[in-house]
Amino acid sequence: MPRTPLRSTSSNRTSRHELELFQQGIIVGQFLAGQKKADIQQDICKLLDKPVSAHTVACILKESGYGHWRV
């Protein structure tokens, strides 16, 4: 007989944490100010005190309409 779950589970859960809009704005602002993506990534990692991948930075710039990316 299967056990019943201890609490309700959501099918929309993700294991990754997303950046807040303010933090995304910092990334876009630094890019518009002329900083390179690698420098932006290092600054965000120091600011948030957690790792942020280069892919995340590129995706934020892509979604906001800035930056260059490969298709």
The 10s digit of each residue's pLDDT in 10-41 is 666 665 568 899 999 999 999 999 999 999 99
Whole-angstrom Cα distance, residue 60 to residue 14? 18
The single residue listed with the structure tokens 């993506």 is: 37
Residue 69 reports pLDDT greater than 70: no
Give me the pLDDT at residue 71, please: 47
pLDDT of residue 39: 95
Give the chain's mean pLDDT: 83
Q: Identify the H or E element spanning 25.
A: helix 21-32
Instruction: Provide the angle, in degrees to the nearest 10, between the axes of the packed helices 54-64 and 21-32.
Output: 80
DSSP code at position 20: P
How many beta carbons lie within 10 A of that of residue 27, not counting itself?
25
**Residue ranges per structural domain of the chain:** 21-64
